[in-house]
Amino acid sequence: MARKPLISGNWKMNLNHFEAIQNVQKLHYLIHKEVFDDVDVSIHPPFTDIRSIQTLVESEELEFALGAQHCHSEDTGAFTGEVSPAFLAKLNTEYVICGHSERREIFGETDEIVNAKVLAILKHAMTPILCCGETLDEREAGGTEDKVLGQIAAGLAGVSNEQIASMVIAYEPIWAIGTGKTATSEDAQTVCAAIRTKIRDMADDVTADAVRIQYGGSVKAGNAAELMSQPDIDGALVGGASLKPDFVELVRNGAG
Ligand code: PEP
């Protein structure tokens, strides 16, 4: 089954709203319109930029999808500093990253917290990008699949097959994030295929064939096409390179 690939630019805590507007305008000018026939592209700026980018994307009818980098699982309440999924939905946010390794490692997000966020994002008709991935120690100990498939099972608890089919999973080996080290396309394909098989077991063929699986971890213009040509890799979650001019070529190369 043909799955339209999704390339997502995770800006992390970079670019204020003025810089963000300029960056999105420049990117859109440089990525030719036809490219969007072959690939979806989501932009995940910091929260303070989202309203500005929403206004720009909607007023100029840009093809970019608006994304967020995370959210809380509750709609409202005494959660100082947190961001409501209901408020993100109100800004027409389409994709929300959840369970990014930086959130898990720096901010202590457990599988249970990530699962609650997945359910909350879906409740508001947005698409979760559920991240999973192993550390270098886990990989060297042969524990990659145990770790990754465990995160998938926990993250998808209580999610219906139809909802899983609409989701995006991002396989991001932690040792490859921001390090310049990328998994070989064969290794990335092996893990992404195992994720799809896990979903086939948890749900059914239709669901497994529909869910999009991204690879993330030092993706750049030079390796995007090879990674995305793998049968079970349907796009890329891109950090560092999404802030550079390289992102234009990365998107073009990824579109094939
Ligand atoms: C990320 O932030 O999800 C990521 C993959 O970062 P980078 O592309 O810089 O490795």
In this structure, what CATH number is given to the domain that contains residue 247? 3.20.20.70
Q: What is the mean pLDDT of residues 60-80?
A: 97
Amino acid at 11: W
Q: Is residue 1 domain-resident?
A: no
Q: Which residues are catalytic?
A: 100, 172
- The domain tally of the chain equals 1
Nearest alpha carbon to residue 68 among 31, 27, 120: 120
237 in a structural domain:
yes
Q: pTM, whole model, 2 decimals? A: 0.97
Pocket of ligand 1 contains residue 237 by CB under 6 Å: yes
Other C-beta atoms lying within 10 Å of the C-beta of residue 201: 11
Contact (Cβ atoms closer than 8 angstroms) between residue 7 and residue 40: yes
DSSP for residue 242: G
Residue 176 counted as domain residue: yes
248 domain residue, yes or no: yes
Mean pLDDT of the chain: 96
164 class by beta-carbon count within 10 Å (0-12 exposed, 13-18 middle, 19+ buried) = buried
Q: How far apart are CA 61 and CA 46, in angstroms?
A: 21
Q: How far, in Å, from the CA of 8 to the mean position of ligand 1? A: 10
Task: Give the per-residue pLDDT at 1.
Answer: 56
- Return the ligand 1 atom nearest residue 170 CA: 3
SS3 category, 41? strand
Is ligand 1 within 6 A of the CB of residue 165?
no
Q: Is the pLDDT of residue 93 over 80?
A: yes
Return the sign of the alpha-carbon dihedral for residues 224, 43, 114, 3. negative
Test site for ligand 1: of 7, 8, 10, 96, most ligand atoms within 8 A of the Cβ: 10
Query: Does 164 map to a domain?
Result: yes
Position in ligand 1 atom list of the atom nearest CA 177: 10
What DSSP element (H or E) covers 8?
strand 6-10
User: Contact 92/55 with Cβ under 8 angstroms?
Assistant: no
Predicted confidence (pLDDT) per residue in 102-141, tens digit: 999 999 999 999 999 999 999 999 999 999 999 999 999 9
Tell me which residue range forms the domain holding 89: 6-254
Q: Residues 142-161: what's their mean pLDDT?
A: 98
